[in-house]
Amino acid sequence: MEMIHKGSLDLVLVPCGLAIMLGYHLLLLYRILRHPHTTVIGYENHNKLAWVQRMVQVEDLLLLILFNFFFSVISAGSSG
C-alpha cells in the first residue's frame, strides 16, 4: 500500500472543507431571508425590534428615567 502524500491529501480535503463551509453559509443565509424566526439571528432581531417599539410607546418621563439608569450603569462599568 502506497503512502498518501500530505500535499495530495490537502488538495482533496481543503476544497471539500471550503465547499462544506460555503454550503452551510448559503443555507444559513437562505434561512435568515426566508424563515428568519427559525434562526438565532432572526430571533434576536425580532426581540430588538420589539424592544425599540416598546421604548417608543413609553411616556417621555419614564423614558428619561430609563435612559438615565442605563447611562449610569454604563458609566459605572467603564469608570473602574
Tell me: the pLDDT tens digits for 42-59?
Answer: 999 999 999 888 877 767
- Residue 80 CA to residue 77 CA, distance in Å, equals 6
Q: Which three cell numbers stand for residue 13?
A: 480535503
Most confident of 27-31, 38-42, 69-73: 27-31
Q: What pTM did the predictor assign?
A: 0.56
Delimit the domains of the chain by residue range: 1-34, 37-80
Residue corresponding to grid cell 448559503:
26
Quote the longest CA-to-CA distance of the chain.
80
Q: Using an 8 Å Cβ cutoff, are 66 and 58 in contact? A: yes
Distance of CA 77 to the CA centre of its chain: 24
